[in-house]
Each structure stands twice: as C-alpha cells, then as structure tokens.
Structure 1
C-alpha cells in the first residue's frame, strides 16, 4: 500500500481561537457604523396609532369645515370619526372586527350625517389590512362586506355618474387583493423556511447518527471479538490472553480519542443557523469555532484501521492508488468511513455464528480514482448473505453518504461467495 502524504498538524487552541476571532480596529468599526446609525423600527401599535390620529385629525377638520351641511349635530359626526379612526388602530390585532366597525361607521355617516371625502380612505386602509393580517377564512369576507358599505356610501350622495361606483369598487377590491396576496406569499415563505429548517435539523441528526454509528459500532465489534477470543484462551494460554487484553485496551483508547475528535467537530459547528432572512430578533448568532481535536481520519489512516480489524480476525489487503492522496477532504473522509463500515459489517456478519469465533476472513479493499470518480471496492470471502437480506443501519449510512455526493452504491453476494460492496463517488 502506498503511503499518503502526512496530514498537517492541527492548529493549537490559541491559533484556532485567534484565527476565528473577528478583526477589530478602525475598519471593523466603520463597517458596523451604518447598522449603529440605522433607526430602530417603531412598534406596530405605534404606527397604527399614529395613522389613526392622522385620519382622525383630517376627518374632524373636514367635518368642522362642513358643519353647515351636516344633518345632525357635530357630536354624532365626530363620534363616527372616532369610530372610523379607532378601527384603524386595531387593524392588525382584530382586522375583521375593525373593518366591520369602520364600514358600519362609514355607512352611517353617509346615510344619516353627510358623505365625507376623507372617511372612505380610512375604510380603504382597513380593507387592505383585512386582506393582509386576517386569517385566510376571515380575509375572504372582505369582498362580501365591501359591497353593502359601498352601496350605503353612494346612496348618501345626491348624484353621481354610474362609472364612479364601479371604479371605486374596483379600486377597493384591488387593495384587498394586494393585501390578501401579500399575506399568502408571506405564509408560503414561512412554510418553506420552516420546512427547510426542519430538513436541516433532520440532516444534522442523521449525520451525527452516522458518525457515531461508524465510530462506536466499528470499535465495539472489534472489542467484542477480542474479548471473546480472550475468554476462550484464558485458561490454556495466559500469555495470549494478556496480548488480547492489551489489544482490547489499545482499541478502547483509540476509540476514545476518535470519539473526542468527532464530538469536538460537532461542538465547533454549533447549532443549526436560523434560516430567516436577515438578522432579525429570532436569528441565532454564528458561533465562533472552538478549539478541538485534530481533523477527522481519511484514507491515509487506513493502516491503523486495518491493524485494529486484524486483531478481530480479518486478513485485509489494501490496494490504494497513489492518486488517492490528492482527493478532496470531504471525499477522502467519506471514503474512509465507508471502508470502516464495510469492515465492521464483515466483523459482524462475515464470520458466521456469533461473530466472535476464531474464523479468519480475507478482505480485499481497492481504492482507485479514475475518470473523475473514486471507485471503491470492498469484498470478503466470509459466509455471504442470506437470500432476501435487508440492509441494516451500516449500509443505510453508507447509502446516505453516497447520496450526498450523487454517487452509486452496489452491495450483495460476491461471485465466489462472501460479500461485495462497490461505491463510486464523483470527484468534480
């Protein structure tokens, strides 16, 4: 087997922390200046209250200016103005009730007081808010409610052209439609964001499960085989028992080191990011990479892996193409995990019986980059597979790794017995 280039030494914690710490100084302060000077957005209640006050002032001024034409006293007229403006203040919290109250006030004003040129625009804002802030079922009542309100308003006018009510009705329905369509788009975006976030969480959980299964499953199977062999020779060969127990201890220490490496990698990555747009109140801050163990193993670490599985009774032959030393890091790491899981399956299932007997199994591992793909073949001469076998977690984990790269996976009985697994991973 051709040795791969040495892996560069991992950065020390101090170096990693310094590399991940954002630059501080005049330039970073200038970059943060626009965000610091950006005014805070006022609360929705303040915006609605200001709009209500503005409409109330305009309607009250118009009513006072037309006091001579009002059919009733100024107090009822101003009361209707307060009701119309108050409906605007509640247009987000209770959009349907606010619009119904505003429409009723508009109709009463047109029929019993005097049609106002300002009040209809307050009602228009309420109709738009109904389409935007109400639930889908309640928002659909907007076009139904607008008809009697519009009829009452124009009934209070002495004369008007027939085209005017039709044009006003079209404008009102258009405002409702814009609000309704905007709300539905926001719902779709939120639904897509939640689905994407859920998918990210599911993928992250599956990735953690794969990493821990590949590591813990492989090591525990090797340790079980070593412990079983030590138990069998304990009485008749203490020296061999001592060697097996020493190997068991060494395997356990290596497993702890690798588990620490995997957990350190997960801690550096931190929680899944918030998938909303921009840095809103619900956004999660990007965690700074924390110092941790060295990089995960790759194909260059196959000798250590083979030494471990050799203690479990596997005779492994590796044919590693020299070009495999220049693989992308993600492909290199995934190829190592695939070989590790394939050898674990051989330890568990290729030996027959309980998998802890002294039967030796020959395994051939071939890794060869060709035509912009990595071809990986693992086959053994073990007891093979029963008819109609169902892939377990190990093969499912391999299939997930292969699917992430858009590669292909074949597994099943070999031509001369045993088990055969072949994987191709694209390199470009």
Structure 2
C-alpha cells in the first residue's frame, strides 16, 4: 500500500477524525483579536503545537511521531500559560497518547508530565494568570495524565486478556493433540493385538499343518486347519473393529472382557501347541472393564512372547489376590531370538501404556529374571 493510501485509511478512522476536529477548533480559537508581540508569539507557539499534533495523529509510528509527541506538549503548555487556554487541549491529547503507549519508558513519561506542568505554571505566572486560571490549566495537565494512565492500564489489561486467550487456546489445542495421540496409541495397541495374537497364531498353525502333511498326518492337519480358519475369522473381526474405532471412535462398541477371559487365552495357547501350568483364581471378578482389558492384554502378550521366543517351552501362570489388587505372574524359559512374525516389537510397550492409562497405581513389569522371562501385572480394584 502506498503512503497516500495509508494516510487516507488513517483519516477514515473515527479517532483520527475526532483529533482533526480538535485541531481545527483550537486553530480557530488561536486567531488573535488584535496583533501585538505577545499574540504573535502565542500564535506561533500554537501553530507549532498544532503542526506537531497533526503529525502524530496522521503518522502511524516511527521517530517523527515520537518527536512530535514530545514537542507538542511543552510548546502548547507555554502557549496556554501565555494567554491562550485553548492550547491546553494539545497538552491533554499528547499526554494521553504518550502515557497510554505501553512501549514508552517511565523516564520519558515522567519527564513529559513534569515539563508540561512546569512550563504551564511558569508561563502562566509570567503572564499574570489568576490563581483560579492557573489551577484550571494544571487541572487540564492532570486530566491528560490520568486519562493516559487509565488508558495504559486498560491496554495492559486487554493485552493480558489476549495473552490469556492465546494461552488457553494453545492449551486446548495441545489437549486435543494429546487426546488424538492417545487415541492413535490405543488404536495401535488394538491393531498390534490383532496381528500378534490372531495372525501370529495363524502362522504357527500353518507351520504345524505343513509339518503334519509332510509326515502324512492328514487328520491332525485337518484339525489344525479348522483352528487356523477360526483364528483367521477372529483376526478379521478384530481388525474390522479396530478400523471402525479409527474411523469413528464415538461409534465404536465398548470392549467387553468376560470373567473367564484369562482361561480362554490359556485354552487358545494350548490349542496352538503350547504348554501351560496355571495356578490360582483366574476369574476377573471385581475388576472393571479397563482393568480387565489391561490384565487380559498382559496375559495375551506374555503368551504371544512365549510362543515366539520359547516355542514348546512350558509357561507358568499364577493368579492371586492381594487386598484390593489382582496379581498376574507369567513365567517362561528364555529361548532363542524369535523368528519374524506379524505384530512383533510393540506388545510390551502397549501393555505398559494400558496400565499407565489406568492412573490408579496399577503396574506391570516385564523382563528377564535369571534364565526366565517374567511378566508381572498388578491391577488395583476400583
């Protein structure tokens, strides 16, 4: 935009138009009734003050505006004290604008107020103003000072309000982002469970079928094929549920984990050729949906890891109650590094995330203990 265009836009604003009207009115009041040395001086001072007033009104920012503000007040103060009270208007206007600007230093503001007050008082005393007249001029200086300070406070409050609004908006966006990331993490855990449990089990079944067919055990291979078909169907159903939850989390059906979920997982592990020795009460009674899902997920991941890392090795599962908590401990010998199977690499992380999301002191630990790998989960009853 050109300088002329910017000037035209400023003139169209109501505040600038009000200042222009004030400049015109003061200019009319400056016209002397008769010429004498004093009136010429006062008129000259008035012209300088009005020129400065017009400069900082029509100039958006920069050094010329600052100089005009600093010159306008003192020059007008002298003119007002020498016999032209209308020049107190530029003093008031310059003080309001100068003080209300939050970028101005305290030294500049105090200096301007002191200069305007002193020059008004000295020039009024030299001209012979009455005490009442002097007080009226000083009241004008005080009015400009208080008006500028009030406006400065209002601007500061508005800046704080905008900063608070921006901070609140940023916090809301961060909360939305965190919720989105949590939803994505939850979906990733669900997808991992589908891959690791269903498809991982399917790979094991297909390997077993291949071995049985090579040995001519067709009937056993047929049984394994039926089990593989069941696993594939479960995996497809779970995958569809996970995708539906990703598309519309609000429409996703709530996860229901029955009391016998742990026993079902143990049975599935045995059907895949695994050996399990289970001890204790394996029902999930007394736990809510979130804790049931976390405990079942911990056992599922422990059994998947046992099948991958130590295939054919016995797994020990102990369940116990400690006060208001259910404790699940799964142990298996540490085997050779696993072969590549679908869904590997994120199960333990997802398991820990589930327990951390409960936020009630429930914990899960997984790692080597001597020559055994141990997963121990502790779910606090609500």
TM-score (norm: length of structure 1): 0.60
**Deviation sequence 1:213-253 (CA, Å, 0-9, x none):** 22222222211111111121223232222222222121011
- Aligned-pair CA distance for 1:332: 1.3
Which residue in 2 is equivalent to 1:398? 351
Give the one of 179, 185, 193 matched to 1:200.
179
Which residue in 2 is equivalent to 1:298? 257
- Aligned-pair CA distance for 1:329: 1.4
Give the one of 231, 250, 255 matched to 1:251.
231
What CA distance in whole angstroms lies between the structure 2 residues aligned with 1:308 and 1:370?
Answer: 27
Which residue in 2 is equivalent to 1:332? 292
What CA distance in whole angstroms lies between the structure 2 residues aligned with 1:180 and 1:365?
Answer: 62
Which residue in 2 is equivalent to 1:362? 315
Q: Kindly report which structure 2 residues correspond to 1:123-138, keeping only aligned pairs within 5 A, or say none.
A: 123=97, 127=101, 131=102
**Closer, same or farther: CA 144–244 of 1 in aligned 2, 3 Å:** farther
What CA distance in whole angstroms lies between the structure 1 residues aligned with 2:21 and 2:324?
Answer: 73
2:270 matches 1:310: yes
The answer to whether the 8 A contact 2:356-2:362 is kept is: yes
Which residue in 1 is equivalent to 2:365? 410
The answer to whether the 8 A contact 2:69-2:98 is kept is: no
**Closer, same or farther: CA 146–343 of 1 in aligned 2, 3 Å:** farther
Gaps of 5+ in 1: 1-45, 91-96, 132-138, 270-288, 352-358
The answer to whether the 8 A contact 1:412-1:421 is kept is: yes
Q: Secondary structure at the match of 1:419?
A: strand
**Deviation sequence 1:251-310 (CA, Å, 0-9, x none):** 0110111222233334443xxxxxxxxxxxxxxxxxxx43x4x43242533344334322
Q: Kindly report which structure 2 residues correspond to 1:168-317, keeping only aligned pairs within 5 A, or say none.
A: 168=145, 171=149, 175=153, 188-189=167-168, 192-237=171-216, 238-269=218-249, 289-290=250-251, 292=252, 294-300=253-259, 301-317=261-277
What CA distance in whole angstroms lies between the structure 2 residues aligned with 1:224 and 1:377?
Answer: 26
The answer to whether the 8 A contact 1:111-1:152 is kept is: yes
Give the one of 303, 324, 327 matched to 1:375.
327
**Closer, same or farther: CA 243–326 of 1 in aligned 2, 3 Å:** same
**Closer, same or farther: CA 199–82 of 1 in aligned 2, 3 Å:** farther
**Closer, same or farther: CA 372–297 of 1 in aligned 2, 3 Å:** same
The answer to whether the 8 A contact 2:49-2:75 is kept is: no
**Closer, same or farther: CA 108–418 of 1 in aligned 2, 3 Å:** same
What CA distance in whole angstroms lies between the structure 1 residues aligned with 2:364 and 2:191?
Answer: 21
- Aligned-pair CA distance for 1:337: 1.3
Q: Write out the 4+ residue segments of structure 1 that deviate beyond 6 Å after TM superposition.
A: 73-79
The structure, 1 or 2, with the larger RCO (C-alpha pairs under 8 Å, 6+ apart) is 1
What CA distance in whole angstroms lies between the structure 2 residues aligned with 1:392 and 1:333?
Answer: 20
What CA distance in whole angstroms lies between the structure 2 residues aligned with 1:183 and 1:107?
Answer: 30
- Aligned-pair CA distance for 1:206: 2.5
**Closer, same or farther: CA 126–145 of 1 in aligned 2, 3 Å:** same
What CA distance in whole angstroms lies between the structure 2 residues aligned with 1:263 and 1:371?
Answer: 38
Which residue in 2 is equivalent to 1:110? 73
Gaps of 5+ in 2: 1-8, 33-41, 77-86, 123-133, 338-343
- Aligned-pair CA distance for 1:422: 1.0
What CA distance in whole angstroms lies between the structure 2 residues aligned with 1:365 and 1:54?
Answer: 85
What CA distance in whole angstroms lies between the structure 2 residues aligned with 1:361 and 1:55?
Answer: 91
**Closer, same or farther: CA 247–108 of 1 in aligned 2, 3 Å:** same
What CA distance in whole angstroms lies between the structure 2 residues aligned with 1:213 and 1:322?
Answer: 24
TM-score (norm: length of structure 2): 0.66
- Aligned-pair CA distance for 1:346: 1.0
